Amino acid sequence: MRIQFDAARWAQDGEGFWLSLRAKSPKQAKRFLGDMQEKKLYDAEIKIHREKRSLDANAYLWVLCQKVAECVRNITKEEIYRDAVKHAGQWEPLVFKDSAVETFLRRWSGHGIGWLAEKLQSSDGYTEVMAYYGSSVYDTREMSVLLEYIVNEAKDLGIETKTPDEIAKMEALWEEK
């Protein structure tokens, strides 16, 4: 169950600390409390809310990848996208036992086109791997960085792109969605 809130308070009594949250709607709070059962232990994670990227941003990204690929030739839009993910996308450095690296690489890349992983260096039976996330899990800010990279690649090749004002409007729409 997911609940959004915009304020929190805490207090202390003899048994511990109490955390109270102000829900965005009464319906959401009632649903959340209705799902809870007494005498059970619950785990919760609280993190800053980030808007998900819009499908419009994703569609525009792929249009530009196609235009760049057509201009460069001998390269696919998927390769343009992967290059952008490697240069401007989200990544995670990981370390594995040498025996587990190939399995990880195969499974990671199975998530989608932009899910890339590459071996960096090995020593003492361990290999460092750089794992890049595909844009399907990016939030608005992360997608904006990736899109900006592709826009700049297109501009460098003389490809017409949306104006900065149009891109700013698109980003504002991402925030609203």
d(CA 20, CA 121): 47
Q: Is 122 exposed, middle or buried (0-12, 13-18, 19+ CB in 10 A)?
A: middle
Burial 24-62 (b: 16+ CB within 10 A, else e): eeeeeeeeeeeeeeeeeeeeeeeeeeeeebbeebbebbb
Beta-strand (E) ranges in the chain? 5-13, 16-23, 91-97, 116-123, 126-132
Packing angle, helices 164-176 and 140-156, rounded to 10:
160
Task: Say yes or no to pLDDT of 46 above 90.
Answer: no
**Rama region for 74: left / alpha / beta (φ>0; ψ in -120 to 50; rest):** left
- Read off the pLDDT band of 167 (50, 70, 90): confident
The model's pTM = 0.67
Whether 134 has a pLDDT exceeding 90, the answer reads yes
Overall average pLDDT of the 155-159 stretch: 95
**Where is pLDDT greater, at 139 or 108?**
108
Closest to 174 measured CA to CA, from 64, 47, 90, 61: 61
Of 18 and 110, more confident: 110
**Cα 88 from chain centroid?**
12
Q: Distance between CA atoms of 20 and 8, rounded to whole angstroms?
A: 6
Q: Mean pLDDT, to the nearest integer, of 74-93?
A: 97
pLDDT at site 175: 55
Q: Looking at residue 129, what is its pLDDT?
A: 98
Greatest Cα pair distance, the chain, in angstroms, is 70
pLDDT for position 39:
67
Tokens coding 61: 């990204």
Which sequence spans correspond to the domains of the chain?
1-49, 55-176
- SS3 (DSSP) at 79: helix
